[in-house]
Amino acid sequence: MGGMQQVLAAGPRVPASGSRGPVWRRHLHGSELAWAIAFVAPYAAVFCAFVLYPVGYALWMAARPSLYAELIADPIYLRTVVNTLLFVCLAVNLKMFLALLLSGFFLRRRWWIKALLVVYILPWALAAVQSFISFHWMLINEQGLIDGLLSALLGIDGPIWFNYRSLALGSNVIAYIWKWMPFWTLIFLAARLTISRDIYDAAEVDGATGIRRFAHVTFPLLARLYLICTLLSTLWTLGDFTTVYLVSGGAPVSSTEVLATLGFRYAFDLANPELGIAAVISALPLLIPITIVLMRKLQTSELQL
Amino acid sequence: MTIALGSAPRARRRYQLRPALVEAGSVMLGIALLIWSLLPIYNLFLIALDPEEGEIEFTGNLWPPEPSLDSFWDVVTQEARYLENFWHQFGNSLFIGLLTMVLTVLIGSLASFAVSRMRLGKSSLLTNAAVLTYTIPAAFLIVPYYRIMHVYGLLDTLWAVIAAQVTFATPFAILIMLLYASLIPFELDDAARVDGASAVQLYLRVYLPLMTPALAVVAIYALLLAWNEYLYQAVLLSTRNMTVAVTHGQLFVDTDAPWNAMMAAAIIYVLPPIALLFALRRYVIAALPAGEVKG
């Protein structure tokens, strides 16, 4: 794998990380330094005003230990933690793995595959709220489109999807994958295009084709990017509110809530903002390790594959 | 070496036996993807094209019995119930989306320029700050945001939502821009320096033009983030400043709402991002490495 990355780094497409600027640029002076600071200032201001302050505020609000005793005592909270883990594990891993495979499919040079790509990325361009409402109505009951199709094509009566926890949870996962898989497919597609043809030609000479080529050439080359994307997506999915709120709405009876929606219900429906914050802050033991690994991964080398 | 040469024709022969099978498989996958991508969108149209408002749209029809565009007309003329202020809300959504886009591109490109081209500090500092922003997901921070927006006096203004969206779009924008900036050779900067370009000129004349593909990707990403967002708009804005997303989100369980008009509004609402995607497609394709700046 290390060898492969060296090959990749030597390819023409990948930036030479050794090409540092001349020595004079390493130390900024006078007006240069002032300009550089002025350029970073807006981001620094946003970071302080809208990241550090609210995060600090959240931690301060959630500092009371009795809040966590209250959470543990709530059976809905415990079920929500399980739901969140299920939702994140299923949605992120299925989505990423399918996106990786599909990016290979979209690499094929056929006119109809290029046209299909345009249709395929539509879900990403569509607004989330409206798409998820469409999912909600599609699955609402025997009158929805899915059950209509089931009875028309297969002659069976479809289930009432949101009456079963597993089906409702599954619907959330499917809707989430539908919405976000195109985005990650594009990222992997872009990365695959950077892999030099020479590597594949060499691999083919060595007899690595099909699945073996994927397992021994493509995947090792994309592994780092795949890991970074998976971690980033895990963070984003953990914080996903819209999918669960609009597709299943927590049905049946709050059994498919995730932390983001439960926190919202505690804070706004039950008018207990501290408890709402505590519910979401309780995900920190999961969030912090992911962040640390992500920072490490992004630091090694210049953000390349 | 001889082994490698010996196995090559064998591999190629095996390849030739399978193309028909591979082709058939990819056509089937293509059809499956087409259905997968279009089914929920078809459902939007199925409901929107129904002329009657009310319960009739949920009767398991696979095709609207009497397709008509009446509901679209009701939306455009603001005659549908709950959609009396559709264009005002649409304008609010557009304002939030466009400003999020512009500010994200501006702040992100300035910061990435200072760090990657002027070498202010280590770039890891910036990526760490970016990742740190995502440690606590946006949806988890809605309560403190509500409080701090009150402190800043921005509550119930569109700027509160814009500030939140920019905050959560900029880190990803910076990651993308740092990645892309590392592909641009430093020799170009040096040449401009020799010609006496200042930092500002370097940013405007060299950095921005060369970064166009990355800027386009970031712009689309930021607009879609704002366009997809529901929670912050729902909490930080009151009825006076509603957006299209909030109207839809708040009524989603209401079977009494005129769903054909709501879905028609939804279809109109999804047009701007698609238009932007279409307008910027040249640059997005250029962002794919096939068209990248060669060193």
Domain boundary among B22, B57, B76: B76
The mean-pLDDT minimum among A136-150, A233-247, B49-63 falls in: B49-63
Residue B81 inside a domain? The answer is no
Asked if B122 and B142 sit in the same domain, the reply is yes
pLDDT classification of B3: cutoffs 50, 70, 90: very low
pLDDT at position A193 = 80
Asked if B110 and B132 sit in the same domain, the reply is yes
DSSP state of B57: G
Asked if B41 and B105 sit in the same domain, the reply is no
- The pTM is what? 0.84
Q: Of the candidates B176, B200, B202, which has an alpha carbon nearest to the alpha carbon of residue B188?
A: B202
Q: Residues 6 or more apart from B205 whose CB is under 8 A from it?
A: B192, B197
Give the separation between CA B114 and CA B119, rounded to whole angstroms.
6
Name which of B8, B164, B190 is nearest A205 (Cβ-Cβ).
Answer: B8
Asked if B49 and B103 sit in the same domain, the reply is no
Over residues B110-126, the pLDDT tens digits come to 999 988 888 777 777 88
Residue B223 sits in a domain whose CATH number is 1.10.3720.10
The two structure tokens encoding residue A131: 């798409």
pLDDT at position B199 = 84
Domain boundary among B76, B99, B128: B76
pLDDT at position A162 = 85
Which chain A residues are Cβ-neighbours of B34 within 8 angstroms? 116, 119
- Sign, CA torsion B275/B291/A303/B204: negative
A43-70: average pLDDT: 91
pLDDT at position B93 = 93
**C-beta of residue B110 within 8 angstroms of C-beta of residue A43:** yes
Asked if B115 and B6 sit in the same domain, the reply is no
| ipTM score | 0.82
Tokens 């083919």 correspond to what residue? A204
pLDDT classification of A27: cutoffs 50, 70, 90: low
pLDDT at position B46 = 85
The number of beta carbons lying within 10 Å of the beta carbon of residue A264 is 24
Number of domains in chain B: 2
**pLDDT surpasses 80 at B160:** yes
Which chain A residues are Cβ-neighbours of B114 within 8 angstroms? 35-37, 39-40
B1-14: average pLDDT: 47
B135-141: average pLDDT: 86
Domains, chain A, with CATH or none: 27-61 (no CATH), 74-299 (1.10.3720.10)
pLDDT at position A297 = 84
A111-126: average pLDDT: 87
Residue B34 inside a domain? The answer is yes
**pLDDT surpasses 50 at A305:** no
pLDDT classification of B54: cutoffs 50, 70, 90: low
Q: Is the model more confident about A175 or about B136? A: A175
Residue B187 inside a domain? The answer is yes
**C-beta of residue A304 within 8 angstroms of C-beta of residue A17:** yes
pLDDT at position A207 = 77
pLDDT mean across residues, chain A? 82
CA-only gyration radius of chain A, Å: 24
Give the domain range for residue B173.
86-291
pLDDT classification of B108: cutoffs 50, 70, 90: very high
Residue A126 three-state SS: coil
Q: Is the model more confident about A59 or about B9? A: A59
Which chain B residues are Cβ-neighbours of A113 within 8 angstroms? 26, 30
Asked if B113 and B242 sit in the same domain, the reply is yes
Asked if B143 and B199 sit in the same domain, the reply is yes
Q: Is the model more confident about B194 or about B9? A: B194
DSSP string, B183-213: TS-HHHHHHHHHTT--HHHIIIIIIHHHTHH
Domain boundary among B55, B76, B97: B76
CB within 8 Å: B253 and A249: yes
pLDDT at position A142 = 66
Q: Which residue of A has its CA nearest to B46?
A: A145
**pLDDT surpasses 50 at A243:** yes
pLDDT classification of A209: cutoffs 50, 70, 90: confident
CB within 8 Å: B230 and A128: yes
Over residues B88-99, the pLDDT tens digits come to 999 999 999 999
Amino acid present at A236:
W
Residue B233 inside a domain? The answer is yes
